[in-house]
Amino acid sequence: MDIPLPWIPAASSRRGVTLIEILLVMTLVGILAAIAIPRVAGSSDPYEAADEARRIHAAIADARARAVATQRQQRFILGSGGQWRVEEDVSGTWTVRGDSATARGSVSMNGASTGTITFYTRGRVDAAKTIRVSIDGHEKVIRVLASGLVRW
Q: What's the rounded Cα separation, in Å, for the pair 25 and 29? A: 6
The confidence score (pLDDT) of residue 70 equals 95
- Displacement of CA 84 from its chain's centroid (Å): 16
Please say if the pLDDT value at position 36 is more than 60.
yes
Amino acid at 16: G
**pLDDT tens figures, 111-132:** 999 999 999 999 999 899 999 9
The torsion angles phi and psi of 58, rounded to 5 degrees, stand at -65, -40
pLDDT above 70 coverage of the chain, percent: 86
The confidence score (pLDDT) of residue 101 equals 86
The confidence score (pLDDT) of residue 74 equals 96
Side-chain half-sphere of 152: how many Cα atoms within 13 Å?
Answer: 10
Domains of the chain: 48-151 (3.55.40.10)
Please say if the pLDDT value at position 45 is more than 80.
no
**pLDDT tens figures, 50-76:** 898 999 999 999 999 999 999 999 999
Please say if the pLDDT value at position 135 is more than 70.
yes
